[in-house]
Amino acid sequence: MPRLLFLTLALAASASAQTTSLRGFVTDAANGQPVLGANVALWAPGAPEALRGAAADGDGFYAVPGLTPGRYVARATAIGYQTRIDTLDVRAGGTTWDVALTPATAELGTVTVQSERTAGSANVEAGFQRIRAEDIAIVPAPDVTGDLANYLVSLPGIVASGDRGGQLFVRGGDPSQNAVFLDGIPVFQPFHVLGFYSAFPADLLQNADVYAGGFDSRYGGVLSSVLDVTARPGNLRRVAASASVAPFVAAASVEGPIVRDRLSVLASARVSTVEALAAQYVSAPLPFSFGDVLGKVYFTPTATSRFSLTGLHTYDRGGIGLASGDRPDEMRYTNSAGGFRYLLLPSQSPLLAEISISYARYDAELGPSAEQAAVRPEVGVRSTSLARFTTDIDLTYLLRGLDLRYGLFLRRTFTSSELDELFQNLVTEREEVLEPGVYAQPTLRVGPLAVSPGFRYTFTEGRLEPRLRATLEVGPHRLSAAAGRYVQPVVGVSDRRDATSVFTAWTVAPEGAVPTADHAILGYRLRPVPWADVSVEGFYKRMTDLSVSEWTAFPRLTTRLQSADGEAYGADLRAEVRRGRAMVLVNYGLAYVTQTITDPRNEVLYGDEVFTFRPAHDRRHQASVVASVPIAGVTASVRWQFGSGLPFSRALGFDVFLPPDGSTDPTGEPGTPRVIYDRPFNAELPTYHRLDLSVDRDFVLRAGTLTVQGGLLNAYDRRNLFAFDVFTLERVDQLPVIPTLGLRFQTRQP
């Protein structure tokens, strides 16, 4: 590491001898927090056509390299802030310009903003989308604060298991194939058992970067998607607090400076109120209990460094089945994660260095609820654990037209499971894996074209994963593409004979059978006017060495695993219009997902050794419409979601099977109950659709702002299916129509 840093600094010093750079941090003047996406533009006086610029990242950091020393006009802009203009003397060896932007009080449409909007539902770039807190706020939710999970399920290509279970399938991938990070710390199951909630309340978010595929070489170890969440730092200027209560969740947060403009702390806690409040007036049982605690310390040791320490703990307990059934009906899990991140900008160098170290642990248990244990004492408990130490060193060297990003990673992962023979042939020979490696992802910019070829290499496994991302942006048009190979050595196995299975056992994949995926994405976005986006994106994903549940007509509560290959392809269409505070989003996703099993037995059963089927999470059509509009002093929001039916194996009938291997006294052999199927996953469950409404209004009081929100979930009381027992025909439905009323109080901000 020291040699690597020395070499980089030497290169940087050499390059900076010829040119110079302008860099610094853009922050919010009211609270000292970074302003993500702020644009800093430079031009020589009298030569505005020679504009150079850069956008601020999640730390508020920007850098404009490759400048000739001299005088420049500098302008900093960001949506929701007043523009700041200054005249600078940029000297050889680098110049720092830190900008504190003042929030604008005018309506958004009247602010003179030249900056590019980098977020938005339709502003997708080869699988990548940036989500901001204000995007989440417009989606009707059962509480005032809003949550990232509630927004994610509106996106095309993301299939949820329902409003319970916390499982998201992204473009045909399994939930265990998604990686989620909070400030660089992995969170293995960030979605609460009640599907509206995650570990990430909207008011703590700075941004959430979603890669539905084609993610670059900074990320690895998963096949399907990445959700990279950054929590905002606590207010660096003054103490602030908020508290809210709603039928599903109560929340409180406090933040403030320990040392003004240098050190802040943020703490947040949420606890479910479902059983205490919502269950009192909703006819359906709501056996959910969950909560989360998040804390962040943010420190600016020097003008050119940043340090943050983040910790998270979540807990969940939820009913996911019937107490009268043979399968365990309750899921319980916890996440505990913590880590720090140190950002350093060596002086007189266009280099950005970052080191992060973290530890994360996930424990889950599937077992009987107290009610089920009383009536079905034979139902057993299954448990699984996953823990990981991670160290990342990231270096970014900024040149004119070239960002050189590369780094080192070291991950050590531990798994353990007690499965009560859930997976009869699962042998966990390896229960830990060490992954040291390197990655590189340079980005070359030539005019409107940006190309980023990269790779990720893991030493111990000898795995090379090539990656490529590219964009071409000309006026209102943007073409984007991504491709790559992805490998997942730590796998989650689930009994996916139906999509509502929520228990995932973690294990290390055997050598020679490590799941691999190849992605290809091509997208086009049109921005005909600054307040509207339309995009279309096609994707293809091929997966090998997946572990899937073995198909059988034995109604077993356990299953065997077998190897399968998978394929997913489709397209997303998105449109977004924002005018002032009004917004309309329309999303549609079309996807085809198949899995293929090659087994000699298939020849007998299906006429061919190779058997291809639709897995339980293959949702062909998805659509959502979200709209938010200010009316008569309130903000009214509506969301309508639609999903075509998921495949399931429809039983044609039931009888008894006696092995016909010879004469058997039929009075002595009871036989085995048998399900008579046609072919696996040959039928579809009912379609899913739901309408959610909400209305909220702010009341400005002397001490702060009181927000009152009223809502109606599942407004026309659609009986959307969550789980269906093929054997008894009993069903568990998703939430019925639920009226909500939430209150939130935030302390006054000058």
- Give me the residues that bind another protein (CB under 8 A), please: 552-555, 601, 604-605, 640, 642, 648, 650-667, 669-676, 683-687, 689, 691, 716, 718-721, 724, 726-729, 731
What Cα–Cα distance (Å) separates residue 561 from each residue in 254, 429, 604? 48, 15, 19
Q: Which is nearer to another protein, 104 or 683 (CB)?
A: 683
Give min distance, CB of 558 to another protein, in A. 14
What's CA 551's distance to the chain center, in Å?
31
- In eight-state DSSP terms, residue 8 is H
Give min distance, CB of 629 to another protein, in A. 10
Q: Which is nearer to another protein, 542 or 689 (CB)?
A: 689
Tokens for 634, please give them. 């309130």
Q: Which is nearer to another protein, 114 or 424 (CB)?
A: 424
Q: Which is nearer to another protein, 73 or 715 (CB)?
A: 715
Give min distance, CB of 605 to another protein, in A. 5
- In eight-state DSSP terms, residue 193 is S
CA–CA gap between residue 543 and residue 712 (Å, rounded)? 40
Q: Are strands 205-211 and 128-131 parallel, antiparallel or unpaired?
A: antiparallel
Give min distance, CB of 602 to another protein, in A. 10
Give min distance, CB of 258 to another protein, in A. 50
Which single residue is written with the structure tokens 């998921």? 646
Q: Which is nearer to another protein, 450 or 715 (CB)?
A: 715
CA–CA gap between residue 499 and residue 495 (Å, rounded)? 9
Q: Which is nearer to another protein, 238 or 689 (CB)?
A: 689
SS3 457: strand
Tokens for 292, please give them. 């989360």
Which single residue is written with the structure tokens 């990070």? 181
Which helix (DSSP H) or strand (DSSP E) does residue 603 occupy? helix 600-606
Q: CB-based contacts of 46: which residues, under 8 Å, 6+ apart?
A: none
DSSP state letters, 499-538: TT----EEEEPPTT---EEEEEEEEEEEEEETTEEEEEEE
Ramachandran angles phi, psi of 16, nearest 5°:
-70, -10
Q: Which is nearer to another protein, 313 or 650 (CB)?
A: 650
CA–CA gap between residue 289 and residue 271 (Å, rounded)? 8
**8 Å CB contact between 595 and 548:** yes
- In eight-state DSSP terms, residue 325 is S
Ramachandran angles phi, psi of 105, nearest 5°:
-100, -15
Q: Which is nearer to another protein, 260 or 679 (CB)?
A: 679
Give min distance, CB of 724 to another protein, in A. 5
Give min distance, CB of 139 to another protein, in A. 19
Give min distance, CB of 136 to another protein, in A. 24
Give min distance, CB of 661 to another protein, in A. 4
**8 Å CB contact between 43 and 86:** no
Give min distance, CB of 716 to another protein, in A. 5
What Cα–Cα distance (Å) separates residue 396 from each residue in 403, 567, 693? 7, 35, 45
Give min distance, CB of 60 to another protein, in A. 40
Q: Which is nearer to another protein, 63 or 712 (CB)?
A: 712
Closest to 347 in 3D by CA, of 410, 303, 403, 390: 303
Q: Which is nearer to another protein, 63 or 646 (CB)?
A: 646
What strands lie across the sheet with 39-44, from one edge to the other? Answer: 47-55, 39-44, 70-77, 84-90
Closest to 286 in 3D by CA, of 311, 253, 249: 249
Quote the Cα angle for 290-715-330, to 5°: 30
Q: Which is nearer to another protein, 699 or 716 (CB)?
A: 716
Q: Which is nearer to another protein, 6 or 727 (CB)?
A: 727
Give min distance, CB of 665 to another protein, in A. 7
